A = this chain, B = another copy of it.
Amino acid sequence: MDLYGRDFIVSQDWSLGELEELLDLAAKMKRDRFSPRWTSILQHRTFFMFFYNPSVRTRQSFECAATELGGHAQFLEPGAMRLRTATTAGETTEDAAKVMARYAAGLGIRILEDKVPFYGAGNDLLREYAHWADIPIINMADDRFHPCQGMADVMGWAEWCGEGPGRPDYEKLRGKRFLLTWASGALARSWCSVQEALLVASRFGMHVTVARPDGYDLDPQVYEWTRQNCADNGNDFRITNDPDTAYDGVHVVYSRNWVTPQAYQDGAFQKKAEQDKATAVPGWITNAERMARTDNAIFTHPMPIDRGMEVTDAIASGPRSAIYDIAENRLHVQKAVMALTMGNL
């Protein structure tokens, strides 16, 4: 299986075998973090990080990943780069991409929310870069998907169902029940992480439930892929608006605030309107009472967490919270992605 040169824009683009190869390498890297097997893979090579939007975890973990592979991640803010947009003169994506391919081993891009004019435009831009650049394009979160987060999630779930950190057991996930539930709060969060989680949970053989208030459905295409992934595994996919019974008997609980399908309107991200809408739907929080309905579920969240709104402190910091392990996994899966697509292993 040769992943050299491949883009990583959404997990659904890769076969299950390819995702498993990536996760297998990530676990090896986690077990032996600074082994000389990895520390020269990107030696003297550059990975460009294009941050149209700022980030916490993504910047830290990608830049660490490049460093640990012996390379260097350049932090670039395209706002300072005189690129052509709908309203300003500047360089075309073709020209920018073709030159960057001369300099770097790979290019990560993060673009969503206020930086895209309509839903899907961020993902379109990644695919345009992938079209022009003959180096791998890595999705660092766009308006639709967040594949590195999805890989970190499933690795963490499999560690908690398996033998702990660095010892994931993906077979144990098969037939388990995954709950993705909307959560209250005024953060007006994007869909990328939760949509990727649906794709990944269903690919890896879990039953999937989405719990959300009416009006908070996600991308129909993602629902369709999730439904198909579940069907391929003989599993259930269901959607409910009951914030309590949704927890019954599940093994993994993922709660997070997200916006409505009306979030992108009139060429802009409607943050204020979405915050107002969500504020009118209180009480969707993961707490001890709801967790008691589960089959001793683990709690998962891509962070940063809006504590007190999305989840109580008792659960987020409790004995079944996988959040820090999963945050750490961002580093390991990203090292594996970079090594496989840029390292010519």
> What residues make up the interface of A, taking CB atoms closer than 8 Å to B?
34, 39, 43-46, 48, 54-57, 59-61, 63-64, 67-68, 70-72, 74-76, 80-83, 89-92, 94-96, 98-100, 102-104, 185-187, 303-307, 309, 317, 323-324, 327-328, 331
Contact = CB atoms under 8 A, between A and B. Distances in A.
A80 B79 CA distance: 14
B89 A186 contact: yes
Contacts of A43: 39
Copy tally for this chain in the complex stands at: 3
A74 B64 contact: yes
Nearest to A332: B102
Contact of A103 (B83, B90, B99, B331): B331
B74 A304 contact: no
Given A56-B81, A328-B102, A95 B48 contact: no
A92 B54 CA distance: 18
B303 A91 contact: yes
Contact of A67 (B72, B80, B95): B72
A101 B82 CA distance: 32
Contacts of A61: 103
A99 B57 contact: yes
Given A54-B81, A81-B56, A72 B74 contact: no
Contacts of A70: 44
Given A304-B91, A305-B91, A99 B67 contact: no
Given A56-B83, A99-B324, 9 more contacts: A46-B63, A55-B80, A57-B99, A72-B72, A89-B186, A89-B187, A92-B307, A96-B304, A99-B327
A331 B102 contact: yes
A48 to B, nearest CB: 7
A57 B55 CA distance: 24
A303 B99 CA distance: 10
A328 B99 contact: yes
A60 B89 contact: no
A181 to B, nearest CB: 19
Nearest to A70: B44
B44 A34 contact: yes
